[in-house]
């Protein structure tokens, strides 16, 4: 049952004032699908006590990033006390909870392991509807006021997800279609998946109005065991007039026709010897005619030339970064010819950012952010943050700034420029916060910061007196 609210949640300091350059954030990687926004006038300084417009209590931890459409903030949440999965909507101006729905009443754990919850995928909206997806397979669409439009369970319809860890991939709304990818093992693992036939990896397209299948494209893979598993999300990209859906995982990067799912091209692999434990988490990101894909486990970043056709050989690789484990045992033998000898650039979890002509790669294990030239892979600058814990949230760019959040909810704000400059840090986490993975969201002149326990809305816009 959907619950609607008229009670203020948290602390409201005033109503929003219209901001110049305001933009929605409809997808977990923003309006451009690359972590960037054209937002301006965002707060340069903030804390739990400074420039806070409102706060809202989170019912439980979740890696999902909020999405925003005008005055609607949509967020997925776990609820450990009741073992439920929630879809929630807040008023962006006031923090008032507009509505909340119990999507899943599990009755058992809301996670399949201790690393993550089923509420890891982020919702997505096109301003007409908002769609939530969860790691147990539940997918539900609402109108903006919380009326359920349709609901289905992907596991029940296509088979149980065959993953060692709790499955997560965020859906995509693009050009009138709803996309979801499932890149999984071909054999069951820990009792999950088909036992009488192979599990298939696929890209699924649905009608967002009804939830009905438009097509399902089976995506083959030569990867082995855990290396078949991907927690990446589909990313749209247009280059020289051709639009495609980028898919990374199963030891390969591929581009697909948005109308049919047909594979247009494929490059692989960062793992020719088929190491078995290289699951993939960072989604691909494109910019300046290059598509960045990050190999896992402290391995390199690869820049693939956009516009490919068919099966690509290694001539499609523009450059390869150095990384701590290069060359790894059994990995790419030709890497020395293309590696950029400037220092390590890698990402095991965080999806890179493309902003103002540069790629920004967050090496979470080493707490290092690197600014990289798309054409050559040259490192413009690289900086190690003063952080006791790692980063797994993805960097975001807006208003000439880069926003990064560590596991404890500490936000680092840097300048997006040719020279590194740390502008601000803010400890937004609470005692007990341990795995903050949600990205900062710049939208409509505000910043939304989600920790394990709290959603903050901070702003430099003029606030009415208390």
Domain boundaries, the chain: 2-459
pLDDT tens by residue, 160-197: 999 999 999 999 999 999 999 999 999 999 999 999 99
d(CA 368, CA 454): 26
Give the containing element (helix H, strand E) for 354.
strand 353-355
Q: What is the dihedral of CA 217, 273, 198, 211, to 10 degrees?
A: -30
Cβ-Cβ contacts under 8 Å for 275 (sequence gap 6 or more): 227, 328, 330, 331
Residue 112 predicted with pLDDT over 60: no
**Fold topology of 2-459:** Methylamine Dehydrogenase; Chain H (2.130.10)
d(CA 272, CA 366): 26
pLDDT tens by residue, 218-276: 999 999 999 999 999 999 999 999 999 999 999 999 999 999 999 999 999 999 999 99
Residue 13 predicted with pLDDT over 70: no
pLDDT tens by residue, 394-426: 999 999 999 999 999 999 999 999 999 999 999
SS3 category, 158: helix
Q: Give yes or no for a contact between 174 and 192, defined as CB atoms under 8 angstroms apart.
A: no
Q: What is the dihedral of CA 372, 373, 379, 381, to 10 degrees?
A: -70
d(CA 34, CA 284): 9
């Amino acid at each position: 049952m959907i619950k609607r609210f008229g009670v203020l949640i948290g602390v409201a300091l005033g109503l929003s004032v219209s901001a110049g350059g305001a933009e929605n954030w409809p997808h977990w990687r923003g309006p451009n699908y690359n972590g960037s926004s054209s937002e301006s006038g965002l707060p340069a300084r903030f804390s739990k006590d400074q420039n806070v417009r409102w706060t809202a209590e989170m019912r439980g931890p979740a890696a999902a990033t909020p999405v925003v459409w005008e005055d609607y903030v949509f967020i997925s949440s776990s609820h450990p006390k009741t073992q439920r999965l929630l879809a929630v909507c807040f008023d962006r101006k006031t923090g008032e909870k507009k509505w909340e729905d119990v999507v899943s009443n599990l009755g058992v754990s809301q996670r399949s392991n201790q690393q993550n919850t089923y509420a890891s995928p982020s919702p997505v909206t096109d301003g007409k509807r908002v769609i939530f997806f969860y790691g147990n397979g539940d997918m539900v669409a609402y109108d903006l006021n919380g009326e359920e439009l349709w609901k289905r369970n992907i596991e029940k319809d296509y088979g149980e997800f065959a993953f060692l860890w709790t499955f997560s991939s965020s859906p995509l709304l693009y050009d009138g279609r709803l996309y979801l990818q499932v890149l999984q093992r071909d054999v069951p693992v820990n009792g999950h998946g088909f036992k009488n036939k192979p599990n298939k990896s696929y890209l699924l397209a649905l009608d967002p109005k009804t939830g009905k299948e438009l097509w399902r494209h089976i995506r083959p893979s030569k990867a082995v065991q855990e290396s078949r598993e991907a927690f990446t999300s589909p990313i749209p990209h247009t280059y020289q007039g051709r639009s495609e859906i980028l898919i990374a995982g199963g030891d390969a990067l591929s581009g697909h026709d948005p109308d049919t799912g047909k594979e247009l091209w494929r490059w692989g692999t960062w793992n020719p010897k088929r190491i078995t434990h290289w699951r993939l988490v960072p989604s691909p990101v494109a910019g300046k005619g290059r598509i960045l894909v990050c190999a896992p486990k402290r391995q390199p970043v690869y820049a693939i030339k956009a516009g490919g056709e068919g099966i690509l050989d290694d001539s499609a690789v523009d450059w390869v970064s150095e990384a701590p484990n290069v060359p790894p045992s059994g990995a790419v033998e030709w890497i020395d010819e293309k590696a950029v000898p400037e220092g390590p650039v890698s990402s095991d979890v965080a999806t890179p950012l493309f902003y103002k002509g540069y790629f920004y790669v967050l090496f979470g294990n080493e707490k290092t952010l690197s600014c990289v030239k798309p054409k050559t892979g040259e490192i413009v600058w690289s900086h190690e943050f003063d952080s006791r814990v790692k980063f797994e949230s993805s960097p975001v760019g807006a208003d000439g700034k880069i926003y990064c959040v560590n596991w404890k909810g500490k936000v680092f704000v840097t300048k997006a420029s040719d020279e590194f400059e740390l502008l601000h840090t803010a400890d937004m986490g609470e005692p007990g916060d341990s795995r903050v993975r949600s990205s900062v969201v710049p939208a409509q002149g505000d910043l939304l910061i989600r920790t394990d326990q709290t959603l903050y809305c901070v702003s430099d816009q003029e606030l009415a007196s208390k």
